[in-house]
Amino acid sequence: MRSQLDLQDLFLTITQNVYFQPPATLKMTYPCIVYQRDDIDVKRSNDKVYGSIVKYLVTVIDPNPNSELVEKVLLLPLCGFERHYTKDNLNHDIYNLYY
């Protein structure tokens, strides 16, 4: 299983504003990528674990509705677009990423 720090480094190649499970008190700089662990898919056989992969919920937040970060994140392997919404004049694009 690859580590969360490896994923952090990957996101840092896309933008310098990357936050892993930020506290509500943190003032973020936009555009940014915010991500959190959402699930762990565990493969079992004969009552033993033989593999696992972590699912992350990734959000691109940008005031620009045509953000270039949207496509850059979508091009990552095992990444799928989930939904889009706007809140406080910020565009939020949500993805599921297995890493």
What does the pLDDT look like over 8-37, one tens digit per residue? 999 999 999 999 999 999 999 999 999 999
Q: Mean per-residue pLDDT for 75-87?
A: 97
Q: What pLDDT does 2 receive?
A: 78
Assign a CATH topology to domain 4-98: STM4215-like (3.30.2000)
Dig out the tokens for 63 from the structure.
């005031």
Query: Domain coordinates of the chain in residue numbers?
Result: 4-98
Distance between CA 39 and CA 53 in Å, rounded?
Answer: 9
Q: How many residues does the chain have?
A: 99
The structure's pTM equals 0.90
Q: What is the mean pLDDT of the chain?
A: 96
User: Is the pLDDT reported for residue 46 higher than 70?
Assistant: yes
Residue linked to tokens 């033993």: 48
Task: State the DSSP string of 33-85.
Answer: EEEEEEEEEEEEETTEEEEEEEEEEEEEEESSTT-HHHHHHHTSTTEEEEEEE
Q: Check if the beta carbon of residue 97 is closer than 8 Å to that of residue 76.
A: yes
Nearest to 89 by CA among 59, 56, 62, 60: 62
Q: Mean per-residue pLDDT for 43-70?
A: 95
